[in-house]
């Protein structure tokens, strides 16, 4: 079944009271509701028709998404968005490193997207591997790159109350939420471009977690100037 896309966010209707980022977040959540309900917007289905125009005029994504590389987390699908709507940065564990932060900064500086959304997900393999390594610190990792990845995820494990337990779904979910918040904070702390846009009221950072069992995204929090 096809449903008509929500063409105009409430932020344009009441721009004096609603930040564009709030409208962008609502647009994401409405798209996620359609995904859960098994419906799609006309615009996402017909997205291929926008390709010539996007190639000619350039992109104007309404949100920047930092998310995991997991194949079960296809961002445009779970938010029911089309080509050119989202600027997506994907990496295992939705961590933040210099090259990923540069990609986010590029989008903020060039497209003026009002929202950065950090999306984690349940059953994250990178999170589970990090918890297992914390349970057994003597275990070796097969490459320096994986060591760097795990080291960037370890703070979320250390900050999560209780002893590490890679078999506990509830514990892994809490680590996942903590890791999302850590990535939000890292983006704000380490990027002058992002922080300046946030302080000027041009940008907000939000975070959420995708439940792989249901496809539902739960928003954790939104931040204006500090995390």
pLDDT at 15: 44
| In a domain? residue 199 | yes
Rounded to whole angstroms, the Cα distance separating 67 from 95 reads 8
| In a domain? residue 24 | no
Residue 70 has pLDDT above 80, yes or no: yes
| In a domain? residue 100 | yes
- CATH code: domain of residue 214: 3.40.1050.10
| In a domain? residue 97 | yes
Neighbour count for residue 99 (Cβ, 10 Å): 9
* pTM for this predicted structure: 0.86
pLDDT at 167: 74
The residue with greater pLDDT, 5 or 60, is: 60
Which pLDDT tens digit goes with each residue over 142-200? 788 989 999 999 999 999 977 777 678 889 999 999 999 999 999 999 999 999 999 99
| In a domain? residue 181 | yes
Neighbour count for residue 123 (Cβ, 10 Å): 16
Its domain, for residue 69, covers: 60-77+87-223
- Top mean pLDDT of 12-26, 40-54, 159-173, 199-213 is at 199-213
The structural domain count of the chain equals 1
């Amino acid at each position: 079944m096809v449903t008509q896309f929500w063409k105009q966010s409430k932020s344009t209707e009441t721009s004096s009271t609603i930040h564009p980022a709030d409208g962008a977040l609502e647009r994401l959540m409405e798209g996620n509701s359609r995904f859960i309900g098994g419906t799609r917007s006309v615009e996402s289905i017909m997205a291929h028709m926008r390709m010539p125009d996007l190639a000619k005029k350039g992109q104007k994504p309404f949100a920047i998404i930092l998310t995991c590389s997991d194949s079960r987390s296809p961002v445009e699908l779970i938010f029911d968005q089309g080509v050119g709507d989202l600027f997506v940065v994907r990496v295992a564990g939705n961590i933040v490193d210099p090259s990923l932060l540069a990609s986010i900064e590029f989008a903020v500086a060039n497209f003026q997207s009002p929202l950065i959304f950090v999306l984690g997900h349940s059953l994250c393999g990178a999170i589970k591997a990090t918890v297992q390594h914390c349970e057994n610190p003597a275990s070796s990792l097969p490459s320096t790159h994986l060591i760097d990845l795990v080291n960037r995820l370890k703070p979320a494990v250390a900050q999560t109350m209780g002893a590490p337990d890679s078999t506990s779904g509830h514990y892994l979910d809490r680590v996942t939420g903590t890791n999302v918040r850590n990535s939000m904070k890292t983006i704000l702390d380490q990027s002058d471009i992002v922080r300046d846009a946030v302080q000027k009221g041009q940008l907000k950072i939000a975070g959420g977690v995708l439940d792989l069992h249901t496809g539902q995204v739960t928003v954790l929090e939104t931040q204006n100037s500090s995390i």
